[in-house]
Amino acid sequence: MFAIMEAARLEALHVAQDPATGLRAIIAIHSTKLGPALGGCRYLAYPDDVSALRDAVRLAQGMSYKAALAGLDQGGGKAVIIRPPHVENRGVLFEAFGRFIETLKGQYITAVDSGTSSADMDCIAQYTRHVTSTTSAGDPSPHTAMGVFAGIRATAQARLGSDDLEGLRVAVQGLGHVGYALAEQLHAAGAELLVSDLDAGQVRLAVEQFGAQPVAPEALLSTPCDILAPCGLGGVLNAQTVGQLHCAAVAGAANTQLASVEIADELEARGILYAPDYVINSGGLIYVALKHRGEELPAITAHLSRIGIRLTEIFAHAQADKRSPARVADYLAERLLYGT
Ligand code: NAD
């Protein structure tokens, strides 16, 4: 356990179990240097406890990097609730999780993530105020999509010489909360959409509403396009897929798109510009962080628009140093977090 913590430079790990409700939860606090640790809560089945621990630690570290480069006074954390095979009462399980968060006295603030909903956050909110993305706070996904859209424009400018998306072929993998809202904005900006999702209904909707061209999920990554926007699960850019890409740039919402940072070097070598995932998809985090502090929408939107500016800086830095944007983003985040 300590080796895992040390490798990620994790500040603290908190674990709770409550047989009465079935709660088995891990809260990983990566860093509180820039502020209280903020990050979502996953509710998933894991093959074993170590997998759950690794997931929480890895994601908490990612949140620190994301918050730092988003210019937030916020640290990074993540929670994992191990989903039991059967749960009697989901509400009381999340209420117990709320009591667990409260014991940390504001060091960790939770939010919606894979497997959790605003209704779950409402249950947590009965026992702690250190919770965001409740029903009243609203869904962060549209704000993530807004940030990704700004990031795609910055990426197009850097790689193709113009941020005008009219006629640009954008392949969107995953039409969920973020991907669908992104597709809507891309369509409004005149982009030509190629879309895939495991859910045929979502694809049908995008075809009807945006004139999108459907692509089979297994064919999307190798489909010729200007910009590939991964908006499904993580790990899509790996040793098997990197050689198949036929795009000028990758810019999408999915977390942890790269199987490893070396994949970013391969993209760079192939002339494919990569928008670091945790920079381009930070809109949701910006929204929940600022909303939690009581900021109004205009201030939040203004902060969101800086995602494009930040990416432009990273691309310029990467070009000057002949390094991949992913490595530059890590370097900039680590300088803020560790001063190195
Ligand atoms: P979601 O679950 O609503 O949507 C994901 C969609 O991707 C689903 O419709 C699913 O069917 C589809 N999908 C999964 N694998 C696929 C594949 N191989 N091919 C095609 N489609 C596939 O999730 P979301 O909230 O839209 O988030 C999408 C991604 O963005 C995730 O990686 C998430 O971690 C990341 N992200 C989301 C937010 C947010 O605000 N929701 C913020 C930051 C990052």
CATH number of the domain residue 26 falls in: 3.40.50.10860
Q: Could you say which of 90, 124, 158 is where a domain stops?
A: 124
Cα–Cα separations (whole angstroms), residue 240 to 173, 215, 216, 262, 266: 17, 19, 18, 13, 12
Token pair for residue 3? 């080796």
Contacts 24+ apart (CB under 8 A), 312-315: 312/154, 312/157, 312/158, 314/276, 314/279, 315/154, 315/155, 315/158, 315/273
The answer to whether residues 207 and 285 belong to one domain is yes
In a domain, 130, yes or no: no
The three-class DSSP label of residue 266 is helix
Per-residue pLDDT of the chain (340 residues; tens, 9 = 90+): 899 999 999 999 999 999 999 999 999 999 999 999 999 999 999 999 999 999 999 999 999 999 999 999 999 999 999 999 988 899 999 999 999 999 999 999 999 888 999 999 999 999 999 999 999 988 889 999 999 999 999 999 999 999 999 999 999 999 999 999 999 999 999 999 999 999 999 999 999 999 999 999 999 999 999 999 999 988 899 999 999 999 999 999 998 899 999 999 999 999 999 999 999 999 999 999 999 999 999 999 999 999 999 999 999 999 999 999 999 999 999 999 998 6
The answer to whether residues 147 and 98 belong to one domain is no
The answer to whether residues 76 and 168 belong to one domain is no
Ligand 1 atom index nearest CA of 198: 11
The answer to whether residues 107 and 148 belong to one domain is no
Q: Are 250 and 232 in contact (CB under 8 A)?
A: no
Indicate whether residue 231 lines ligand 1 (CB < 6 A): yes
Q: Could you say which of 124, 157, 174 is where a domain stops?
A: 124
Could you list the residue range(s) of the whole structural domain that residue 53 is in?
2-124
The total domain count for the chain is 2
What gap in Å lies between CA 57 and CA 61, rounded to an integer?
6
| Dist. CA 236 → ligand 1 center (Å) | 12
- Per DSSP, helices labelled H in 189-324 are 200-210, 261-269, 277-280, 283-292, 297-321
What sign results for the dihedral spanned by CA atoms 310, 255, 180, 42? negative
For a pocket test of ligand 1, which of 69, 198, 257 has the largest count of ligand atoms closer than 8 A to its C-beta? 198
In a domain, 43, yes or no: yes
Indicate whether residue 134 lines ligand 1 (CB < 6 A): no
In a domain, 134, yes or no: no
Token pair for residue 125? 């909110």
Q: Could you say which of 55, 89, 124 is where a domain stops?
A: 124
> What is the per-residue burial (b if ≥16 Cβ within 10 Å, else e) of 167-183?
ebbbbbbbbbbbbbbbb
| CA-wise closest residue to 284 among 26, 27, 40, 31 | 40
* 76 annotated to bind ligand: no
Ligand 1 atom index nearest CA of 233: 32
